[in-house]
Amino acid sequence: MSVFLFIKGPSDEDSSDDLYRAGEEDTPSMQWSNSEGDGQQNKCTKGPRPTVKMAACHVNINPVHTKTQLETLMEDLGLEQLYPEKLSLSTILQIDQKTVTDEPAKCNSDLPWYFLKKLMMVNVTARNSKCTSACESNFGAASGKTELNFDNLLESLNLGDRLNPLDIITALFLCSDGFVRQEMALKMSMCQFSVPLLLPNCDTKQCTLMLWAMRDIVKKYRPQSLSESKGFIEDRIVLSELPMISFVRLGECSLSKSEILNKLLSNSQQYHDTFVHSNMECGDSPRRISNGLVEITWYLPCGNKNMDVFSEPVAVANLRGDIASFETQYSFLCQTSAAVFVFFDTLDSECELLTNQQHKAQIFLVGNHQMNHSGKDALIKVATKLGLTNSNILLKTKQMNDADFVKIMEKTVSSVVEDAKKKMGIEQMADIAHELGIWVDEDSSECQAAKQKADAITAEIQDILEYKEAQLPLQGQIWKELTRLEKEEFRLRNVGSEKIEDYKSDLQMQKKKLRQKQNSYDISNAMTYFINAISSPGTERSYFLKWMRMNLDNVSREKLSDLREQYKEKCKNSENKEEIKDIDRQLSNSSLGTEHFFREMGQIYEASLSLPETNLSRQQLQHLPELCAQLLLDGFPLELVDGDASNIPLRWVSDVLSQLNDLMSPKSKILVVTVLGVQSTGKSTLLNTMFGVQFAVSSGRCTRGAFMLLIKINEDVKKELNCDFMVIIDTEGLKSPELAQLDNSHEHDNELATLVVGLSDITIINIAMENSTEMKDILQIVVHAFLRMKELGKKPKCQFVHQNVSDVSAHEKNLRDRKLLLQQLNEMTQAAAKMEKKEENNSFTDVMEYNPDTGNWYIPGLWNGNPPMAPVNAGYSEAVYELKKNIIHILGSCESSANDILEFTEWMKSLWNAVKHENFIFSFRNSLVADAYMRLCTEFNKWEWEFKKEMYTWVTNAETRIHNFGTVAGKSEISDMSECLTQLKREACTVLSKWETKLLENLAQYFKQTEGHVYLVEGYREDFASSAKSLRREMESSVFNQLTVAADIRQGMTELDRIKENHTKQLEDRVCALIDECRGKKVKMADKELDIEFDKMWEKTVNELSFPEQKTINVTTYVSHCLRDNLSHKGSHACQLLSQKELKDCGLLPFKCTADGRFNRLLHKVSKLINYEDQVMALQKLADWIIANCTQFVTEKMDRKNNYHGTYIQEILHMIDERLQNNQSVKIEIEFEVSLKQHICGIAARQFQKMHEDFIHANDPYRCLNQNKEKFRTDFKDVFHKRDQCQKKAEEFTNRCLRPAVEDFVNRSLGPDIIGEMLTKQNFSTRMFLQYSILLELLAKDDFQNYLSYVSSYEEYVKKWILNQIVERFSNGSTTFEFEEKHVLSSIKSINDAVNKAKTEKCGNLKSFIKNVCQELGDKLVISQDALGAFMILNNADQEQFAHWLTQCVKDMAQVLRVKFKKTNIQMKLIKLNVNPQNELFTKLIGCGQQCPFCAAPCEAGGKFHTQHWTSLHRPKALGRYRWDGTEKLVTDVCSSSVISDNRFRCKATKGEWYPYKNYTDIYPNWKIVPDVSLEASDYWKYVLAKFNEHFAQAFNAKPSDIPATWKKITCKQAEESIKVSFNIK
Ligand SMILES: Nc1nc2c(ncn2[C@@H]2O[C@H](COP(=O)(O)OP(=O)(O)O)[C@@H](O)[C@H]2O)c(=O)[nH]1
Ligand SMILES: [Mg+2]
Ligand SMILES: [Zn+2]
Ligand SMILES: [Zn+2]
C-alpha cells in the first residue's frame, strides 16, 4: 500500500507540505465545506452576504448547487466578479479612499486589496496581511483580566478562517489580466518574493506558465567571471539561460521545504522569506487553491566571494503540494531543471512517479532522519533504480540542526550549478509546457498578434543610429534645426545688423523649408507598422506597446552597456574630452525606445499641419492625437519635452491633450505632481513606488525630457481632492554627467525645470547627495524656476525628499542640515532674484511657502542589503507611503482650484513660449492669467460703475436740493446756504466712504474665491486697491465741485429771486386793484377795454418798479488771474512770457507749432530715428488734442446755459497740466506750455464771458417780468370775468412748472442709464475688448483713412467710435424710450403722491396747496421759480377741482412727453444730458491714457492707478512715423521684437543718447513691453502695413518700407485671428 492511497484529490487536499512538522501535528486539519466557509464569513457583513449564508444553509438539506473550491475562495475574498482575468491596471492604480487611509484589513475581502496596495508600493510586508477582526478583537476580549475562561481562550486562538497568503496570491493572479500580472510579478521580484511560474487552477486542473507575467523582470548581477572587471550582466530574466533547481515534495514531509529554501537563499547576515512558509503569519493556514503552484526565484551573485552563496546565477523553483497530485507540474520541472530535489518522509519503493520520468534532470532525494527500516530499504531501492550516488541523497540526521543541513544543501546545489549543463530560459520552457498540455499565458491571440507586429518592427533593427536615420528621419537633425530656429526667432541672438523683421521673416522661411523637407519623406515602413499597430483594439494595443518596449530595451541594452564601459574608461582621464563627447553622442544615438516612435508620430503630425487643409495625407493623420489621448487614458506616458532636442512639439502635444479633454468627462480637473533632481537618484523609482506606475528606471538608456501620465481618482475621494485625475510628471536627464558634455546642457536643464515646476501643483525635489555640486546646481535651477513662478502668480508647492537617510532620528539630527539647506536656498534665491531683476525676493520663503520642518522627508535606502539579492527595504516603502499620503493631503487642502486639461495645456504653451525667450518672467504671457485679469477688470469695472452711478444719483439729488434751496420747494430747515453746503459735503463724504469701503471689500472678497484662478492676478491686487482709492478721491473732488458750483450759482440767484418775487407781488396787487377798479365801474367792459386798462397799469407799475442793473463780471480778468497763478511756480521766465501777450488777443488764430520756436531747438539734435519734422508734428498733435479736449469741455458747459463758475477755468488748467504731464513723446518747453495755455484760456475766457452774459440776460428781472406779461393779462381777464380757472390753472401749472421739471429730471437720469446699458455690451467690458472691437471694425472697413486716423489721432477716433456705438445702440429708440418712460412714470407717481398728500392737508388755499405739492417734490424735481412765481398769482381755483384737473393734466403731460421723446433722436438727446455718456465711457475706457513710448499703442491695464502699463499689441514703428535716417523708408521693426534684440534707440528721454532696447525699462520704468510670444500677435499690423505701405508712406511723408516677404503672405483672416489671440478673445 503506498502513500498515494492517502492522498486525496487536489480539490480537497487538506494538508500543506509545511504543515506536518514535528510538534505541529495537532494543528486542526480541516474539511472544507461550503457551510463552514460561509459561516466564518459572516464576520464581515457586506451587501449580499446574508443571502449567501441562507443559500448555504439550504445546501445541507437540499443541495442545489455545490460551489467549487475556487468559487468559494473567490467569494471569501470578494473577487468573484473579477474572475477570471478581469482585474486591470487602471483599477489597481487609481487613487481611492484606501490609498490615503491606514485602515487595517477588516475582513477577508479586504485582504487582496491590502496585499495589492502594499505590493504596488513594493512593501516586503505585503504578504503579512491578515484581517484584524478575526483574531485580534477576539483576542483582546479573551485577554480580559476579569476572568479565566478556557473555552473562550481556545476559541479566540482558533485561527481557522485565516487565509494562506499563497491562496491570496494565486487568487489575484487568476483574477488579473496580463498587465496586472506583469506588474505584480515585477514588484514581487523586487521584494525578493518568489513569483508564480506555473499557476494552477484547482477547478479546471489546468495550469499556466507565467511567461508573460515575468517578462518585465530585468536583473543585474555579477557572476564570478566578471568580478575582476567589475562588469555586470543585465538581462531580462525570462531570456537568461540559467540552470534551474527545483524543489518538490513527495508524500508527507516533516522538513519545511520552503523554510530551508529561504535559508539556503539568504546570505549569512540576513535572513529573508523568499517563499511563504508555515512559520510566517498565516503561512500555516491550509492552502485552498494554491496547491500545484510552482514558484520561482533567482539567486544572483554580486561578485563577492565572501558574500555570494552561489557564485553563478541560478533559478530556484518550488512546487507546492505533493508531486503525486501534480504530476504535470513535476514532469515540467524534471524537463526544465538541472536538478530536482525531492523532499520526503517515507518512500515507496514501487514509486513510479520518480522512476518513470524521462529525466533530464538530476534527482536529489532529501529525507528526514526519522526513517524506519522499511523506509531505508525503499530509499535504497529507489536510489538504485534512479542510479543515484551518495551525493544525490541528503538526509537530515538527528545531530544536524537546520543550519548544518542548509550548509550541506548549499554545497550540493553549488556543485550542481557549477557544472550544470542544462541551462534554460523561461521563454524556452514554453515549448515544454505546450508538450505537457500546460498553457502559456502568452498564448492568447491578442498577445501573439501584438508580438508579431512588434517583432516585425524590431527585427529590422541592425544598427540603431542607421535605423533611426532611415526609419525615424523627422526627429533627427531636422527637428533639432527647427528647434534652433524656433528659439532663435525668440532670442534674436544672431540678428546682427540685419533688420529685425527681415531677419525674423527669414527664419520663418527657413522653418517652412524644414517642414517641407519633413513632408517630403514618405512615412517609413516602421512608422506605418507602428501607427497601424497602435490603432488596433485595446488589449492588443497594450500588448503591442509592451512588446515594443521590451524588444527595444533588449536591442539597446547590449549596445549601451558596451558604451557605458567605454565611457567609464575614458572618464578616468579628463583629457579625453573630445572622445567623451563622442561617446556621449553615441550613447544618445544608440538609445531607442517607444518614445522615439511617438516622437516621430508627433513630427509627422506637426509637419502635416503645414500642408493645406485639403491635403489628403494631412487628413489621414488627423486621428493621431486622438490615438495618443486614448493611450494616455489607458495609463501610458506621453512625452512632453523631447529632451534630445530640448523642445516641445507644441501643436502635437496640445492637440493630444485637447483630444484627451474630449475623451474625459467635461471639466475634469487635474492635479499635477512632478519630480525633479539629479539624474539617477531614484526619482523614477520613487514615483513608481509611490503610484505603482512604470516610469523607466535606469533603463540603460540615456534619455532626457519629461513624461507625463494620468492616474484616475476614484469617486470616493474625488470630492476631497477636488479633482478627477492626477498627472504625474517624471523628468529625466537633469545634470546627467553623460549629457553635461553636450551643448547647452545647463540651459536645457533650466528650461525643463521651469516648465515642470510651472506645470505642477506639487514638486518633489529629490536629493540624494548632500552638498554635492550637482545637487547645488539642481537647487539653483529649481529655485530659479520657483522664483519665476512666483512672479507669474503661480504658487507650486514643494517637498524636499532626502534619499538614503535611514536613521530613525534623521529628522532630529538633520535639523542643522535643514537649516543649512534653507540657508543655501536663501542664497540661491538672492542670486536668482538678481538674475531675474526681482531683487525684492530675499529668501526662499519669499518665493514660496516652505516650512523646513514639514517640507523635508527622509527616505531610507531602497535596498535592504546588497543588490542584486536585496529586497526593497520596508522602511523605504513605508517612508514613501508617508510621503504619498502627505502629498495627497496637501493637494486636497489646496485652496485654489485645480486646472482642467485645457488649462494645463494653456500653461504648458505659455510656459514653454516664455522659456524660449531669454528673459522668462518678462516674456511670460498666458491666456489663463489674461483671462483672470480680464475677469478682474470686468468685475472691477462693474463695481466702479455701481459706485459712480450711485454718486451721480446722489449728486443729482443734492443739486436738486440746492436748486430748491430757499424756495417754496425748499425743505431744509437750514437757512444759510453755506451751512447747507457743508452739510451736503459731509453727507457726500459718508456716502463716498461707504462706497470706497465697499469697493475694497468687493476686491478682498474677490480674491477669496477658489475658482477662476484668482491667485494668478494677486499681483495686481494693489493696483486695483489704489485705483479704488483714487476713484474715491476723484469722485470726491468732482462731487464737491458740483455742489459748490450749484450752491454758488443758487446763491447768486437769491437776490434776483427776491427782486422778482417782490415785483410779482407788486404786480399782483396792482392787478387786483385794477380788477376791483374795473368791477367798480359797473360798466360791462369789453375785452378790448380791459386790455387797454391792463396795458396802462402794466406800464405804470413797471416804470415805478426799480430794476437794479445786473452787474456782469469780467471773466477774462478772472481767467488771466488764474492762469498767472497756475504758472507762478514755473519761474520768472514763464511770467515774462505770459505778460508778453494779453489774454484777449489769445486764441484768435489756430494754434501752430512752428519750427522757429525756441522750444524746438533741442529737437534738431535728437533727430536720428525720430525725424525732426515728426517732432514738430507730434507737438502739434499734442496741442491740437489738448485744445480739442478743452474746447469740448467749454462747449459742454455752454450747453447747460448756466452761469459761469470760477472752477471751470481751474478745471481746464488742470486738464492741460495733466495731459502735458502724461505726454511721453515730446519734450515740453515752457514756451510751448505758456503759449498753449494762453491760447486755450483765451478761447475759454471769451466763451465763458458770453455764457455769463447770456445768463445774466436771461435772468434779467425786467425781461422776466415782461415775459410773463401776457399771462398776467389773461389771468386778469379770467378773474375779472370770474371764469373758473381750475382746468386752465392746472394745465398751466403742468406745462410751465411740472413738465420742464420732469424733462429736466429725465435728462439728468438718462445719462447714467445709457452708460449702464452700454457697459453691458462686451465691447465696453474692458479696455482689451474695446481695443479688439475697434481693430476688428477697422479690418472689416478696410479703409486707409480709418487706419490713419486711428493711428494718428487715437483718442479722437475712439471718441467718435464710442459715439457711434451709442448712436447705433440707441438709434431705434426703444431702449432710451424705456428709460425715459421709467423716469416719467416715476415722476408722475411722485407728483400724484405729492398732490394726494397736499389734499389731505386741507389748507383750503390754492397757494399753500401748490406750495405743499412743490415742497413734497423738492427732493426730486427742480421747479422753475420764475414760472412758479407767475403761476401763483391771481388764483381763484378751487383746490379740489384743481387737484382733479391737475391729475388729468399730468396724465396728458406724460403723453406729450412721450411723443416728444419719441421724436427726438439720440444725438439730440445726448446733447441735453447732464451726465455725458460719451465722456464717461471714454474716460472709463481710455484708462490711464498712456501709450507705448515706442509705437504709441494704448495701455490696456485695468484700473486707473496701475504700476505698470502694457498693451497686448504693439505695432511696427512705421505706424508711429518712424523712418530710417538715410533712406527715409518707414521702419518695420516692432517694439516687442526690438526689446529683445541688441538694437538701440534714442529719444527725448535718453537725452538723445543711444540706449539699448533691452534696457528700455531704465528709461520707461512703468512700461512692460512683452515680446511677441506667439510670433503672430503683430500679424494684424503687419498685414495692415503691408497692404497700405504706400499710403502710409505718403501720409507720413516718407518712403514705403521694405516689407519682409512673409508679411505679404498674411491673410486678412490671419490678421483677424492674430488679434483674437493677442487680446485673448475666445
Ligand atoms: N542604493 C540605492 N539605489 C537606488 C535608490 N533609489 C533608486 N536606486 C537605484 O538607482 C537607479 C536609478 O534609479 P532611477 O529611479 O532610474 O533614477 P532617476 O534617474 O532619478 O529616475 C536604479 O537602478 C534604482 O534601483 C536608493 O535609495 N538606494
Ligand atoms: Mg528616471
Ligand atoms: Zn510698442
Ligand atoms: Zn496704463
Digit-coded pLDDT (tens) for 747-759: 778 888 889 988 9
Express each pLDDT in 590-628 by its tens digit.
Answer: 888 898 999 999 999 999 999 998 998 899 899 999 999
Identity at 1580, one-letter amino acid code = Y
- Measured from the Cα of 699, ligand 1's closest atom is 16
Identity at 967, one-letter amino acid code = T
pLDDT (0 to 100) of residue 1012: 75
Indicate the range of 362-371, 458-467, 520-529, 668-677 predicted with least confidence. Answer: 362-371
DSSP codes joined into one string, 1552-1578:
T--EEGGGHHHH-TTB-----SSS-TT
- Measured from the Cα of 686, ligand 1's closest atom is 15
Ligand 4 centroid to residue 1501 C-alpha, Å: 5
Tell me how far apart the alpha carbons of residues 164 and 227 are, in angstroms, rounded to a whole number: 41
Express each pLDDT in 516-526 by its tens digit.
Answer: 999 999 899 99
Tell me how far apart the alpha carbons of residues 1340 and 1321 are, in angstroms, rounded to a whole number: 20
Q: What percent of the chain has pLDDT over 90?
A: 28
Ligand 3 centroid to residue 104 C-alpha, Å: 65
116 within 8 A of 91, measured Cβ to Cβ = no
pLDDT (0 to 100) of residue 995: 93
Statement: residue 195 has pLDDT above 70: yes
Tell me how far apart the alpha carbons of residues 239 and 283 are, in angstroms, rounded to a whole number: 32
Mean of the per-residue pLDDT values of the chain: 83
Express each pLDDT in 896-938 by its tens digit.
Answer: 778 899 999 988 988 888 888 877 766 677 777 888 888 888 8
Statement: residue 17 has pLDDT above 50: no
Statement: residue 1371 has pLDDT above 50: yes
Q: Residue 143's pLDDT band (boundaries 50, 70, 90)?
A: very low
- Measured from the Cα of 680, ligand 1's closest atom is 19
| Ion ligand 4: residues, Cβ under 5 Å | 1488, 1490, 1499, 1501, 1509
201 within 8 A of 70, measured Cβ to Cβ = yes
pLDDT (0 to 100) of residue 433: 94
Ligand 1 centroid to residue 780 C-alpha, Å: 22
* Nearest ligand to the CA atom of 1539: 3
DSSP codes joined into one string, 766-820:
EE-STT-HHHHHHHHHHHHHHHHHHHHT---EEEEEEET---TTHHHHTHHHHHH
Q: What percent of the chain has pLDDT over 70?
A: 88
Mutate which of 122, 191, 697, 764 for ligand 1 pocket (most atoms within 8 A of beta carbon):
697
Express each pLDDT in 630-652 by its tens digit.
Answer: 999 998 999 999 888 889 999 99
What is the grid cell recorded at 76? 471569501
pLDDT (0 to 100) of residue 141: 45
- Tell me 14's DSSP state: -
Express each pLDDT in 230-241 by its tens digit.
Answer: 788 888 999 999
Closest CA to 774 of 835, 733, 829, 744: 733
pLDDT (0 to 100) of residue 904: 92
pLDDT (0 to 100) of residue 154: 55
Quote the crossing angle between the two packed helices 927-963 and 1299-1319, to the nearest 10°.
Answer: 170
Tell me how far apart the alpha carbons of residues 755 and 231 are, in angstroms, rounded to a whole number: 38
Question: Could you give phi then psi for residue 972, rounded to 5 degrees?
Answer: -60, 140
Q: Residue 1347's pLDDT band (boundaries 50, 70, 90)?
A: very high
Ligand 3 centroid to residue 1515 C-alpha, Å: 6
- Measured from the Cα of 678, ligand 1's closest atom is 20
What stretches of 1140-1268 show up as alpha helix (H) in DSSP?
1161-1165, 1172-1199, 1206-1222, 1230-1258, 1261-1267
Express each pLDDT in 315-356 by its tens digit.
Answer: 999 999 999 899 999 999 999 999 999 998 888 777 778 877
What stretches of 1487-1526 show up as alpha helix (H) in DSSP?
none
Statement: residue 1120 has pLDDT above 80: yes
What is the average pLDDT across 1464-1468? Answer: 85
Residues 6 or more apart whose Cβ sits within 8 Å of residue 960: 1418, 1419, 1420, 1421, 1422
Ligand 2 centroid to residue 704 C-alpha, Å: 8
- Measured from the Cα of 730, ligand 1's closest atom is 21
Mutate which of 187, 217, 557, 680 for ligand 1 pocket (most atoms within 8 A of beta carbon):
680
343 within 8 A of 255, measured Cβ to Cβ = yes
375 within 8 A of 347, measured Cβ to Cβ = yes
Name which residue sits closest to atom 15 of ligand 1, judged by CA.
Answer: 682
- Measured from the Cα of 804, ligand 1's closest atom is 27
**Can you list the positions of beta strands (E) in 1022-1136?**
none
Statement: residue 807 has pLDDT above 70: no
Express each pLDDT in 89-137 by its tens digit.
Answer: 988 899 988 888 888 888 888 899 999 999 999 999 999 877 775 444 4
* Nearest ligand to the CA atom of 680: 1
Statement: residue 51 has pLDDT above 60: no
Statement: residue 1392 has pLDDT above 50: yes
Question: Could you give phi then psi for residue 1411, rounded to 5 degrees?
Answer: -55, -45
Q: Residue 19's pLDDT band (boundaries 50, 70, 90)?
A: very low
- Measured from the Cα of 688, ligand 1's closest atom is 15
pLDDT (0 to 100) of residue 1160: 45
Ligand 1 centroid to residue 194 C-alpha, Å: 22
Statement: residue 403 has pLDDT above 80: yes
* Nearest ligand to the CA atom of 872: 1
DSSP codes joined into one string, 1392-1444:
HHHHHHHHHH----HHHHHHHHHHHHTTT----HHHHHHHHSS----HHHHHH
Ligand 3 centroid to residue 1535 C-alpha, Å: 5
Ligand 2 centroid to residue 452 C-alpha, Å: 29
Statement: residue 819 has pLDDT above 50: yes
User: Left, alpha or beta for 1423 (phi > 0: left; psi -120 to 50: alpha)?
Assistant: beta
Closest CA to 1366 of 1406, 1327, 1316, 1413: 1316
Identity at 1516, one-letter amino acid code = P
| Ion ligand 2: residues, Cβ under 5 Å | 684, 732
What is the average pLDDT across 246-257? Answer: 89
What is the grid cell recorded at 738? 553623460
As a whole number of angstroms, the longest Cα–Cα distance in the chain is 173
Express each pLDDT in 869-889 by its tens digit.
Answer: 899 999 999 999 999 999 999
Residues with CB under 6 A from ligand 1: 677, 679-685, 697-698, 803-804, 861-863
Statement: residue 1144 has pLDDT above 70: yes
Ligand 3 centroid to residue 1537 C-alpha, Å: 9
pLDDT (0 to 100) of residue 238: 94
Ligand 3 centroid to residue 1341 C-alpha, Å: 24
Name which residue sits closest to atom 7 of ligand 1, judged by CA.
Answer: 682
Statement: residue 1499 has pLDDT above 80: yes
291 within 8 A of 10, measured Cβ to Cβ = yes
Indicate the range of 400-414, 717-731, 762-776 predicted with least confidence. Answer: 762-776
Name which residue sits closest to atom 18 of ligand 1, judged by CA.
Answer: 680
* Nearest ligand to the CA atom of 1487: 4
Question: Could you give phi then psi for residue 732, rounded to 5 degrees?
Answer: -135, 145
pLDDT (0 to 100) of residue 1434: 64
1165 within 8 A of 1227, measured Cβ to Cβ = no
- Residue listed under C-alpha cell 515730446: 1226
Q: Could you tell me which residues are beta bridge partners of residue 731?
A: 706
- Tell me 43's DSSP state: T
Ligand 1 centroid to residue 360 C-alpha, Å: 41
Mutate which of 192, 689, 698, 756 for ligand 1 pocket (most atoms within 8 A of beta carbon):
698
| pTM of this structure | 0.79
Ligand 4 centroid to residue 1193 C-alpha, Å: 24
pLDDT (0 to 100) of residue 735: 61
Indicate the range of 52-61, 94-103, 253-262, 569-578 predicted with least confidence. Answer: 52-61
Identity at 414, one-letter amino acid code = S
- Tell me 1296's DSSP state: I
pLDDT (0 to 100) of residue 699: 52
- Measured from the Cα of 803, ligand 1's closest atom is 27
- Residue listed under C-alpha cell 490671419: 1614
What is the average pLDDT across 1050-1066? Answer: 81
936 within 8 A of 1590, measured Cβ to Cβ = no
pLDDT (0 to 100) of residue 588: 75
Indicate the range of 768-782, 844-858, 1359-1373, 1610-1624 predicted with least confidence. Answer: 768-782
Indicate the range of 766-780, 992-1006, 1512-1526 predicted with least confidence. Answer: 766-780
Residues 6 or more apart whose Cβ sits within 8 Å of residue 385: 354, 355
836 within 8 A of 788, measured Cβ to Cβ = yes
Mutate which of 862, 876, 878, 883 for ligand 1 pocket (most atoms within 8 A of beta carbon):
862
Question: Could you give phi then psi for residue 1271, rounded to 5 degrees?
Answer: -65, -45
For residues 632 and 254, the model is more confident at 632
- Tell me 615's DSSP state: -
What's the CA dihedral at 1204, 1210, 1212, 1217 to 10 degrees? 180
- Measured from the Cα of 220, ligand 1's closest atom is 23
Statement: residue 834 has pLDDT above 60: yes
Express each pLDDT in 1188-1225 by its tens digit.
Answer: 889 988 988 888 778 888 888 888 998 898 888 877 66
Ligand 2 centroid to residue 566 C-alpha, Å: 22
- Residue listed under C-alpha cell 360798466: 1083
Own/partner pairs, 815-824, CB within 8 angstroms, 24+ separation: 817/770, 818/852, 818/853, 818/856, 819/852, 821/852, 821/856, 822/850, 822/852, 824/776, 824/779
Q: Give counts: helices (H), strands (E), the chain.
A: 67, 21
